[in-house]
Amino acid sequence: MTELSPEARALFEAARNGHEPTAHEREQMNARILKVAALAAVSGVSKTGATAGLSGLASGKVAGAMKVTFALAVAGVLGAGAARLVVEKPRPSAVASPRTGPVAPPRSAPSPTRVMEPVRAIAASPQSASASAAAPSHAPESFASARAGTRPMPRDPAAAPGWRPASPSLPASSPTEPAVAAFPEGADAAIADLGARAGEPLKAGHAALGDASLGEEARGLAAVQRALDQGRPSEALALLDEQERRFRRGELAPERRAARVLAHCAGATAEQARMLAQRFVEQEPASPLAVRVRRACGIR
C-alpha cells in the first residue's frame, strides 16, 4: 500500500484539530439540538411520551421517553408553535387546546425552528446499523474506542455544558397533565406506522426526484407555516395552491393537505374546512396529522 509522502502526512497532522467545533459553536449547537428534541417531543410522541420527553430533557433523561417519528417538515407545520410555547413559556392550556394551539397566531416572529431539508431524503444505512465489531483500532478517537462504551467526549471534557435547558422553568410535567396528554387513542399506532415508514430504504423514485426539490418543497411548507403562525390563512392557501402545482408529485403532499385544512379552520370557511378534514382523515387514516386535523376541525 502506497503511503503518503512525509509532506502530505505533515499537512494532515497540522490540520488534524482544525475541524473541531469551537466552544461557542458547541453552545449554539446545544441550543439548537435542544429545540429539535423539544419540538419532536411535542409533535410526535405518544400519550405519555411528550410530557415525559420534555421533563426528561429537564432532568437529563431524554431519549427513553422520546419516540421521534415526525419528519421535521411536519413538525414545522404543526408543532413549532407548540414547541415554542413549551420550551420558552410553558402554557399547558395553550398547547392542549386544539383550536388555540400551534395554529393559533402567536403574533411573534416566525418559528425559530428550521424546516429540515434532507430529513426525508436520508435514511440511515441498515448495514451500518447492523454492523458488527471488527478489527481493533489504535487511535484514542477511533471507532474501537467508542465501542468500549464508556468513552468520554474526546478533547472536550466539558462536553455538553449547555445541554440542559437554560430556563429552569420547564414544567415537570406528569403523564396525566392535560398539556399534550390529550392524544386520542390510535395515535400510537399511527406513530408506529410512521416509524416503520421511516425505516424503509429510499425509493428509486424519490432519488430521481432529487433532494433539491425536496428541500424547496420543505421550504415552501415552512413559508406556509409562517403564514399560518402569523394569522394569514388566505396567504397560506395561496402558497399551497402554488405549491400544489409546482410539486405535483411531491413528497410532502399529505403535509400540504393537512396545512390546507388548518388554514381553512383558521379562516372563515369552516364548513369547507370540515369537508376537507373529513376527506383528509379518510385518505390518511393512519397519519398522526389526521389526529391534529380531527382536533383542529372538531370532527370524529
* Closer Cβ to other proteins, 123 or 268, answer by number: 123
* Closer Cβ to other proteins, 161 or 285, answer by number: 161
- Under the binding rule (CB under 8 A), the answer on residue 58 touching other proteins is no
- Under the binding rule (CB under 8 A), the answer on residue 158 touching other proteins is no
Contact set for other proteins, span 252-281 (CB under 8 A): none
- Under the binding rule (CB under 8 A), the answer on residue 153 touching other proteins is yes
Number of residues that bind other proteins (CB under 8 A): 89
* Closer Cβ to other proteins, 160 or 182, answer by number: 160
- Under the binding rule (CB under 8 A), the answer on residue 122 touching other proteins is yes
- Under the binding rule (CB under 8 A), the answer on residue 7 touching other proteins is yes
Residue bearing cell 437554560: 166
- Under the binding rule (CB under 8 A), the answer on residue 285 touching other proteins is no
* Closer Cβ to other proteins, 140 or 298, answer by number: 140
Contact set for other proteins, span 161-180 (CB under 8 A): 163
* Closer Cβ to other proteins, 4 or 109, answer by number: 4
The region of 144-152, 229-237, 270-278, 279-287 touching other proteins under the rule CB under 8 A is 144-152
The region of 99-107, 138-146, 256-264, 275-283 touching other proteins under the rule CB under 8 A is 138-146
Contact set for other proteins, span 207-226 (CB under 8 A): 211-212, 215
CA–CA separation, 25 vs 32, rounded Å? 11
Which residue in the set 45, 50, 54, 72 belongs to the binding site for other proteins (CB under 8 A)? 72
- Under the binding rule (CB under 8 A), the answer on residue 116 touching other proteins is yes
